[in-house]
Amino acid sequence: MTDPVDNAKAGEDSSSTFDAAELYQQHAAGLRMFLLKQLHDPSQVDDVLQQTFRRFQEQKTKASQNGESFHIHAGWLYHVAKNEALLVQRKQARKKKHEPRIASFLVQLRSGDRDLLIEAEQAERVREACRKLPETLRVVVELRIYEDMKFVEIAELLKLPQGTVLSRMARALKVLRVALHDLTSDSDE
């Protein structure tokens, strides 16, 4: 029997009749070592490994619903695992970037600074205005602002053209400007 990794390197597909459990048995150990070199955290490796096989199952289901055959090879699994590991690393970088700001805000809030309380109230008004946006606009704003996603990533996630995502963001900002006009005019004075 040939090694599925060698087949993948040679461009050969493994049988599409493999289920997730069989693929896991064949590739989990190699994928785990590959991911451990990138992430250096066994718990994150397990999460990414699970997400990789979840993606496999999604693709297999999608193909069967469309009446298509689904051929998988080890290279595809490694590619998906690499992309999922990169997502985890980006999220960690964002978290590290924002943690000092959040900690600073909490320290200032505890100090009882009146200006910070006013800012917190204004922030709540902005969040409330965002909640009132139509869902198509709100989703784009939340992904961009709170999840710090790029417009390209949002377009891929929502399966929309990037131009549509950009125009939805522009419309959302216009609606928010109108809804929060009193906040912006107070700060200009």
Is 122 contained in some domain? yes
Q: Residues 76, 9: one domain?
A: yes
- Over residues 156-161, the mean pLDDT reads 94
**Average pLDDT, stretch 24-36?**
93
- The verdict on residue 87 lying in a domain is yes
**CB burial readout 14-25, b (16+ within 10 A) else e:** beeebeeeebbe
Mean pLDDT for the stretch of residues 99-117: 62
Tell me the mean pLDDT in the region 84-104: 80
- The answer as to whether 180 is a domain residue is yes
Identify whether 99 is part of a domain. no
In a domain, 70, yes or no: yes
**Residue 107 placed within a domain:** no
pLDDT at residue 188 greater than cutoff 60: no
Domain residues for 40? 4-92
Give the sign of the dihedral formed by CA 104, CA 106, CA 108, CA 111.
negative
Examine the domain organization and report whether 67 and 126 are in the same domain: no
State residue 111's pLDDT score.
Answer: 57
Statement to judge: residues 120 and 157 lie in one domain: yes
**How many domains does the structure of the chain reveal?**
2
Q: Is the pLDDT of residue 132 over 80?
A: yes
Q: What is the pLDDT of residue 28?
A: 93
Tell me the average pLDDT across 160-182: 90
Among candidate residues 92, 125, 140, the one where a domain is terminated: 92
Give the pLDDT confidence score for residue 145 in this predicted structure: 82
The dihedral region occupied by 69, where left means phi > 0, alpha psi between -120 and 50, and beta the remainder, is: beta
Q: Is residue 23 part of a domain?
A: yes
For residue 146 the two structure tokens come to 């709170």
pLDDT band at 37, cuts 50/70/90? very high
Residue 135 has pLDDT above 60, yes or no: yes
Q: Which of 92, 123, 150 is the last residue of a domain?
A: 92
